Structures are given as structure tokens and as C-alpha cells.
Structure 1
Amino acid sequence: MTPSVRRIAAALCALGAALTACGTTGTTRPAPAGSPGSARPSATRPPVLAPGPGGLTPVFEHGPRTLGKTVAFTFDADMTADQGPRAASGEHFDNPGLIAALRTLKVPATVFMTGRWADQYPDQARSLGRDPQFEVANHSWSHYAFTAGCYGLPTVTADRMRTDVQRAYTSLRKAGVPNPMPYFRFPGGCYDQQALRALSGLGVTAVQWDVVSGDAFATDADAVARQVLDGVKPGSVVVMHCTRSAAPTTERVVRAVVPELRSRGYRFVKVSELIGRANAPAPTGHRPPSHAKT
């Protein structure tokens, strides 16, 4: 080895040591297998809420009320484990017109997708997952309820809850969603302490809402639009549905509500931005807003 080569090698070694000391080598602690972070480098992982006491899964309902007029539209892509025959006979659990409207209106959104929906509509799941306008999150695989007495949904047993969430992430990735978000929405929005404990350690934030659109099974788009407009506040999370058979008016609602909210000064964001804002330090002399619970 010539002197010049030795000097270059020594310089490279010194640089490597310095990077290691500064923690910039890119080495990350691996996430649990099947968790939303297992395929995503730590530097690009989206914001989540800190676990509650004893590692309990945290719950997010809305963003800060004092950091500007932002609102997150969320859409549940529902399909239960036993609805395959209905889809095969022609029932539509997707809503391409709604997604096209969101793209035309340039409205970012978060889609909470069941694994069964992704299995049925992999091309649409892939399209949403690869479009930076959207983020795809977990809505369970089966869309079975995590508590009893939840809008007539079948229930998943406590020992299967964790597996159901992990199976949904597997379906999302299989469909071509490269980076499903570490956010989970309970089917029907129903949960209790047992459900929160069952999902502890998965690294997910449970995402609820503070504005119920009422689009599920609705036939009056104007009434749904009024309900959304009356309910939205700065930092709101609005729940709607991406299912033609169960929410046939949603596209019309979106087309009516979006320009009106923009005229009121609202900016549309994804859930990840609201959670990131919730994690930001509160201004000096101000108490942090109440936006989450465990």
C-alpha cells in the first residue's frame, strides 16, 4: 500500500469513527416483525403518540385547536371478513369516484383500510399507498369489533386482536402499499382497556375522530354536508367512508364541503401532520391542548 493510499484509508476510518460517535451511521433498532415500522427506516417514521401508562396504546382524537385552521379528512375502507361472496356477486365496497374527486380537489387524506378490502382491491390499495396525496393506515383485517355490542359487528376475541392488526399490515404490503402508517382505527370506533392492552407494543397510535360525518348508509348528501360543516373546528378529524354500498353520498358530500371549508380558511392535512403538531412543544405559558387519551 502506497503512502497516499494509506492516508486515504486512514481518513476514511476516522470519518467512519466520527459518524458512529455522532449516531449518524443509519443503524436502527429493528421494529417487531409485522409492526408498521418493520419496513421503514427510523428517519422516515411518521409521528406517533407516546404510549400511555404501562405501555397502553395511545388514542388520538383531534389535533391542537390553537395552531391554525387545519382539518384531516379520513375515510374508512371497510370490508368484513365474510363479505367476499357479496363482492363476488357485484356489491361495491370501493369508491373510485370519491378518490378521483379528492385528487381533482387536491385534498390530502388518510385512508383506514381493512386487510380484507386490500385483498379484494389490491390495485386500488397500491394506487393509494403510492400516491403522496394519501396515507394508508390500518383498520384491522376482519373489520370485526374489538368490543361487544359494536353496531352489530361480529367480535374478535382478545387473544386474536393483535394478530388481526398484524394480518392487516401483511395484506396492505402484499397489495403493494410500501409504507402503511403506524395508525390504527378500531372497527366501529369501539374499544376498551382490554383492546388497548392487547395492541400494546405494536407501536401504533389508535386514531378516533371528533367529527362524525354521518355518511354511513345516508341518502341525503346535503344533510351529511351540513353535519360536517357544523362540526369542524381547528384540528378536527372527520370520519367518512370509502365504500359505495354503505356510503353512497360521500363523493357528493366531499365536493360540497371542500370549497366551503376552504372559503372559511381551512387547510386540509393528513392525520400524520395533526399528530406531529400534537407532539410539538407547547408555547411558553400555554398548557398543551387536550387531544389524546389513554
Structure 2
Amino acid sequence: MARGEYQDRIGRLLPGKTLWVAIAVMSCAAVALLHTIFSSINPNASIAKTGLVETVEMTTAIARSFPMNFDVPKNFQAKTIKDAPVGAEKVIALTFDDGPWPETTEKILATLKQEQIKATFYMIGQPLKSFPEIGKKVLADGHVIANHTLHHWYKQMSPLVAQREIEDTSKIIKEVLNVETAYFRPPGGMLTNGLVAYALKHNQSVNMWSVDSGDSNPRRPSSEAILKTVLNGATPGGIVLMHDGGGSHNNTAIAVPQIIAQLRAQGYKFVTVPELLELSSAFSEPPIAKTTSESIDRRS
């Protein structure tokens, strides 16, 4: 896949309100710059005088009043996946479970921000209520939010309990982050305790993984062991399971920079799970039908 085509596909995934805010901010900056050039005054004074700071803040506040939706490509709705076919395109998704969590989540966020990488965070309802500001930072940094139930139970559940575990978490995500997400991961990867049946019935994407870093082992493997496991299991279109919450995961936070560096050295690009599924959808689209002299684009 050509670099331009890859970027174009990723670009289609930017939430509408994020693009709108970016345009508004850039427009305001352009006005401030022109005003500075033609009036020969300090840029900060220009912004203060014209009220552009207030304009940007107001524009951002308006955008935040609309929920951000993490939707699932149609051909992945009501499906359980552990990876996604992308051909030879070396893309991989880093995912983090059980947060948000003090210290660990913030250390991982700092690394991702420095490396300009977006990841997918499967959040549990209870810690999101306990640490809402950390959850907001995850979203503010541009990462994808996904549902990981309210209590992280493994036990067998009735349809009503399964519904509450998923829907109550959805409500917390909406209340705290103003986000609606159709991405779900069952705790422990349990597929038969009632949770997955409910998620699939409601057209959600059930996301497993192709590489388990092993960082949730009660004995907590070293950062070197985590790194080795991820590198050995990495494949194009893969999904890497790691943890930022549910206890101390400092070794994971230490391993993440090395995981990124060494996968990059192998030619990998990093995507979110929605981006991965979008790329996979494009990869698996049927050939475009042709008439005598024209191509018909069935996606339009």
C-alpha cells in the first residue's frame, strides 16, 4: 500500500468534531498572525486584544458538547476478532486493559505522546469513576476508548447481569468522557460467560488479541520478558494485549518504549483498533466492477 493511500485511509477515521476544532484553531491562529504582521504588535498582545483565546476556548467547548463516537466498520459489526487481515501492510495495534489507573496509565500516555502513537484503551467502569481525570487525559491525547465491563468479572452471567456489566460501563464512559463506543473486550478473554453474546447481539466489535504480553501474570514478568513476548508474537494486522490498570504495571510502562522502538525498526506502523479494522475493510473490499470504459466505485 502506498504511503499516501495509507495516510488517506487513516485520515478518514478522524472524528468530525476533532477536524472541526483543528480547522477553527488554525483559522484563529492565521487571523492572529495576519493581525500581528499588519499591526506590528506582539502576537500575545494581539491575541489578548482580539479575544482569540476566548474564541478558541468557546469553539472547543461547543465541539465537546457533541458525543464522540467510536463506530465499527460494517463488516466487523457483531464479530469477534483477534487480528485483522491487512496483507503485507506492517501495521499493529497496541491495546491497554483495566485502566484508567494512577501512575501506570500516565507513564504509558507520556511515552505514547512522545512517540506520536495512538492506542486503544479498554476501560473498566469502576476505575473510570474513581479516576475520571486520568480517563479524560487518555481521550484528550487522542486515544480510542473501549468498554471492558463494570467489575471485570469472569463468572457466568445471566443476560440481565451481562447487560448491566456492559451498559452501565457505557453510561459511565458517556457521563465522564462524552464518548460512545462500540468496541468491547471481555475480561480474561472469556467468550462463553454471557458478555460476548450480549455484545454481539448489539452489533459491537468483540476484540481479542493476537499477542498476549503476559504482563497480567500474578508474578509480573520483567520488562525484558514482556518485550521479548511481544516481539516474538508481532505480525501484520496484529493486536497486542497489555495492561495499564488493575494493579501495578510498572514493568509494562518500562517495556512500552522498547516495544515501540524495536517494532518500528522492523518497519511497523502503529494504529488504533478502529484504524486497523478500517484498513482491513479496505484491504478485503471486492475488486471494483468495470463497465466498458469507466470504473464504478461501489463505496460512494
> What is the TM-score of this pair, normalised by structure 1?
0.67
Which residue of 2 is the match for residue 189 of structure 1? 189
State the distance in 1 between where 2:109 and 2:173 align. Answer: 18
SS at match of 2:87: coil
> Paired residue for 1:135, among 133, 144, 147?
144
State the distance in 1 between where 2:226 and 2:98 align. Answer: 18
Q: CA RMSD in A?
A: 2.6
CA shift, 1:275, in A, is 1.1
Which residue of 2 is the match for residue 212 of structure 1? 212
Which residue of 1 is the match for residue 118 of structure 2? 108
1:271 aligns with 2:291: no
> Paired residue for 2:232, among 226, 230, 233?
230
CA shift, 1:78, in A, is 4.6
SS at match of 2:179: coil
Deviates more, 1:106-115 or 1:59-68: 59-68
State the distance in 2 between where 1:253 and 1:235 align. Answer: 21
Which residue of 2 is the match for residue 47 of structure 1? 72
Deviations 1:46-70 (A, max 9, x none): 3335478xxxx31121121415100
State the distance in 2 between where 1:93 and 1:186 align. Answer: 24
The letter for the 1-side match of 2:136 is: R
Structure with the larger RCO, 1 or 2 (CA within 8 Å, 6+ apart): 1
Change in Cα spacing, 1:111 to 1:180, as seen in structure 2 (3 Å) is farther
Which residue of 2 is the match for residue 72 of structure 1? 93
Which residue of 1 is the match for residue 179 of structure 2? 179
CA shift, 1:247, in A, is 2.3
State the distance in 2 between where 1:280 and 1:211 align. Answer: 23
State the distance in 2 between where 1:93 and 1:104 align. Answer: 17
State the distance in 1 between where 2:223 and 2:104 align. Answer: 18
CA shift, 1:193, in A, is 8.0
Tell whether the 8 Å contact from 2:104 to 2:244 is kept in structure 1 after alignment. Answer: yes
Change in Cα spacing, 1:98 to 1:59, as seen in structure 2 (3 Å) is same
> Paired residue for 2:83, among 62, 65, 73?
62
Unaligned runs of 5+ in 1: 1-38, 80-90, 149-154, 286-294
State the distance in 2 between where 1:196 and 1:263 align. Answer: 36
CA shift, 1:130, in A, is 2.9
> What is the TM-score of this pair, normalised by structure 2?
0.66
CA shift, 1:277, in A, is 2.1
Deviations 1:11-61 (A, max 9, x none): xxxxxxxxxxxxxxxxxxxxxxxxxxxx758xx663335478xxxx31121
State the distance in 2 between where 1:139 and 1:250 align. Answer: 19
State the distance in 1 between where 2:203 and 2:147 align. Answer: 12
Question: Which structure dedicates a bigger proportion of its chain to helix?
Answer: 2
The letter for the 2-side match of 1:250 is: T
SS at match of 1:136: strand
State the distance in 1 between where 2:246 and 2:159 align. Answer: 31
CA shift, 1:158, in A, is 3.2
